[in-house]
Amino acid sequence: MLLGLSLAALVAAGAARAEAPAPSDDPLAGLLPSPGIAQEDRGRLYADGCMAWAEDTTSDRCTYGNPKSDRRVVVFGDSRAMQYFDPLEPVAVRRNWRLVGLVRGNCLVAQVAYEKYCDIWRENSLRRIEREKPDLVIVGSATKSIYRVRRGSRQLSRSASQPLLVRGFASTLRRLRATGARLLVIRDQSLAPFAPPECLVEGPVSFDECAYAAGPRLPTAFELRAARRVGVRTIDPQPAFCPGGICSPVVNGTVVFRDNYHLTATFARTLRRWLTSRLPPVPD
């Protein structure tokens, strides 16, 4: 009887081994998100329709954490600000914050003439922040080449726009500081020379083939220059995902970039501890 049970167990084990799938030779298997859909991994604000766009001139309510809390934090900016919202949301829940997301795609928060609907949205958002009376405002802005100031019907070159962008961003920071809030500026990141997830989909021999050296940022870094001018604290997340200046497309099984200029929301969430350890304190 015991022998019969042993034989049956051996047969069952052999069958299980025969039916078990062979280990995958696909280096992309198990990556999160899948590189083929990484572009869509934009995070909670985007999924909830809280990213203003096109002709939008106001943001929806877009309030997270504890909406009734007296501890108030605002995330304000363009898609650069949006990509750091996801690691902040669970912190807001745990710390009992009222967390408001005010973001608009391809929109300058620097107070300059840029684009009609963006300019109206910016003013509406600043007024909302003034009504909100937050304890902390986290500001993020891209510094890319399309951000060029307008003078009447004429668009200035990027180099001619630079001093105006510094001045306009400083003006925004002063207006935010006048609310009594603590301020934090999250620095922009380098533009990749290609889209890392597309490189991964093409099937590299190793992930290193889709890595790149981070390019210079100072020539267009109006956000950094303005923050220094006003005396606002900045943090630079780029070393956290490009250590030593080398940006890998995959870290610990997570796809880092969704295109050549943004993090995936999945990867951004892994920066929660890094980010929260650098936040100014929010009063109890």
The predicted pLDDT at position 27 comes to 80
145 pLDDT tier (thresholds 50, 70, 90): very high
Q: What is the CATH number of the domain that holds 138?
A: 3.40.50.1110
pLDDT tens-digit profile of 49-72?
999 999 999 999 999 999 999 999
Q: Please give the C-alpha separations between residue 110 and each of 36, 102, 186, 266, in angstroms, as whole numbers.
A: 34, 14, 14, 28
**Residue at 141 is within a domain:** yes
Residue 154: enclosing H or E segment and its boundaries? strand 154-155
Look at residue 9 and tell me if it is in a domain.
Answer: no
Residue 164 lies in a domain: yes
Reduced to 3 states (helix: H, G, I; strand: E, B; else coil), residue 65 is strand
Count of structural domains within the chain: 1
Cβ atoms 64, 95 nearer than 8 A = no
Tell whether 3 is covered by a domain.
no
Q: Does residue 15 lie within any of the structural domains?
A: no
Determine the structural domain holding residue 138 and report its residue range.
Answer: 32-276
Q: Is residue 77 part of a domain?
A: yes
Burial status of residue 90 (CB atoms within 10 A of its CB: 0-12, 13-18, 19 or more): middle
The DSSP H or E segment spanning 100 is strand 98-104
**What's the whole-model pTM score?**
0.90
Mean pLDDT, rounded, for 87-94: 97
Read off the pLDDT band of 283 (50, 70, 90): confident
